[in-house]
Amino acid sequence: MTFNSIIELIKKLIDVLIVWLALYYILKSLRKNVKMVLLFKGILVILILKVFSDILGLVTIGFLLDYVIEWGPLALIVIFQPEIRSVLEQLGRSQLLGRHKVLTVDEREKMVYEITNALDYLRKQSIGALIVLERDNSLNDYIQKSKKIYAEISSDLLISIFFPNNPLHDGGLIIQGDKITSAGAVFPTSDSLKISKRLGTRHRAALGISEVTDCISIIVSEETGRLSLAIDGELYYNLTLDEVKLRLLEELRPKKEVIIDEEEVKNENV
């Protein structure tokens, strides 16, 4: 095998890899966006009809479908401009160097301890709260439009921010690394049909921001005091305090650390 043939092979592999990555991000976005799922189903129906019209020789339907396929992409760009922009924004928010700060085990446990202490008080007093933990996707767009704080995480500070009549009570609180970055943040609300109509704006905002970023959203219901988590576009409703604590510790673990732990377990079993 010559040097030129090796270079050509590498180029082809890179080409295929880029295509697969594009398909991966498109399918990942489709899974979280109800409108995009419906759009994808509609395109499949049109393509299936086109195949059947060609096989059966249906001239009129085939003629109309040819026009739809020819001009459809332009119409989709115009009609679904907000959804396409949302996907592009999500790619732009991805941090190539990883999350804002990789926490050590002690920092992670201390942060979760302070958050769960605050959650315990808030749920017992039925005080509504929305806490969002940044991971790999940047939340700077929402931080810029909220009230900057930049403070150490403590249960007392969290409680005081969400205490009734506090000006920041109704907004969301954003945590980057082991610091409270801002409060009073406004997030996009979810249009998902899976979420119960009984749940209010706070839950829909928590689910909405988890659909467009990889953050972890923690919700305390103002009506019932129940705890919920929104992760990767999924809402985990009515969790116990221990369940929230264990899930946070697991989700905040660095990816490399998870891989190392799995390898250690395999070696121990051997």
Q: How much is the pLDDT for 255? A: 64
134 part of a folded domain: yes
Work out how many domains the chain is built from and give that number. Answer: 2
Claim to verify: residue 15 and residue 144 sit in the same structural domain: no
Please name every residue paired with 137 in a beta bridge, in sequence order, or none if there are none. 94
Claim to verify: residue 202 and residue 73 sit in the same structural domain: no
Q: What does the alpha-carbon distance between residue 135 and residue 205 come to, in Å, rounded to a whole number?
A: 17
Claim to verify: residue 60 and residue 123 sit in the same structural domain: no
Q: What does the alpha-carbon distance between residue 255 and residue 87 come to, in Å, rounded to a whole number?
A: 24
265 part of a folded domain: no
264 part of a folded domain: no
Claim to verify: residue 111 and residue 89 sit in the same structural domain: no
Confidence check: pLDDT of 248 > 90: yes
Candidates 66, 29, 26; CA nearest to 46 is: 66
Range of the domain at 125: 105-253
34 part of a folded domain: yes
Residues 6+ apart with CB under 8 A from 109: 249
Q: What does the alpha-carbon distance between residue 56 and residue 41 come to, in Å, rounded to a whole number?
A: 22
Q: What does the alpha-carbon distance between residue 58 and residue 226 come to, in Å, rounded to a whole number?
A: 57
Q: What does the alpha-carbon distance between residue 214 and residue 32 come to, in Å, rounded to a whole number?
A: 11
Confidence check: pLDDT of 76 > 50: yes
Q: How much is the pLDDT for 121? A: 96
Confidence check: pLDDT of 100 > 80: no
Which position has the higher pLDDT, 39 or 104? Answer: 104
Q: How much is the pLDDT for 17? A: 87
Total-model pTM: 0.64
Which position has the higher pLDDT, 111 or 254? Answer: 111
262 part of a folded domain: no
pLDDT, the chain, mean: 81
For residues 70-94, average pLDDT: 66
CATH number at residue 139: 3.40.1700.10
Residues 6+ apart with CB under 8 A from 115: 131, 153, 155, 158, 218, 248
21-25, 117-121, 176-180: which is most confident? 117-121
